[in-house]
Chains A and B, each alone.
Chain A
Amino acid sequence: NAGVTQTPKFQVLKTGQSMTLQCAQDMNHNSMYWYRQDPGMGLRLIYYSASEGTTDKGEVPNGYNVSRLNKREFSLRLESAAPSQTSVYFCASNPTGGSNEKLFFGSGTQLSVL
């Protein structure tokens, strides 16, 4: 039972480069999320997908795009990376997005933008 799988685990980019962070869950969850974690800031929601075919902005969406490819996969794209996007990125999912459901997290992607 893999849960939520994120790739890659580590990535170094130069300013202006693009890349896509991949996330897949095997729990048949409807809702998926992308968070970033910065020291002393806790987790902040970038984008979420309440269900397949829908995506919405979270608290800090600027500089990112997302794709809900199918029910399993939710990718996060940085079109032109900036040093301010250096962070640890977490993908999460839960069954329907309801308040009474816990989030299942992946193990994170550590991204450095030089």
Chain B
Amino acid sequence: QVQLVESGGGVVQPGGSLRLSCAASGFTFSSYGMHWVRQAPGKGLEWVAFIRYDGSNKYYADSVKGRFTISRDNSKNTLYLQMNSLRAEDTAVYYCAKDLTVTPIDYWGQGTLVTVSS
């Protein structure tokens, strides 16, 4: 069965950096695009970034463009999100999610909480 397990969340000061990881199993990771989606406490879902199956194309939400970088290592079945210049408004649960065909998202991880606070 498909499993997506996020790690790397925690508390970071404004302006700091954090790298999230997502370990994937139960499917051919190198054949599917992957997303990061976040949800601020008590708020709705916000799409963050997408990377194609081979890493050839990457897309970002305006709110994170230039600060966040999505990447993948198909040899390790792992997805990453490098987050720099973090702001208080980046505080959220970050979900790793498997794409079906450039959306929809058919599987989600359980999420990892990122808190940006001094």
B is a partner of A: no
Interface positions of B (Cβ within 8 A of A): none
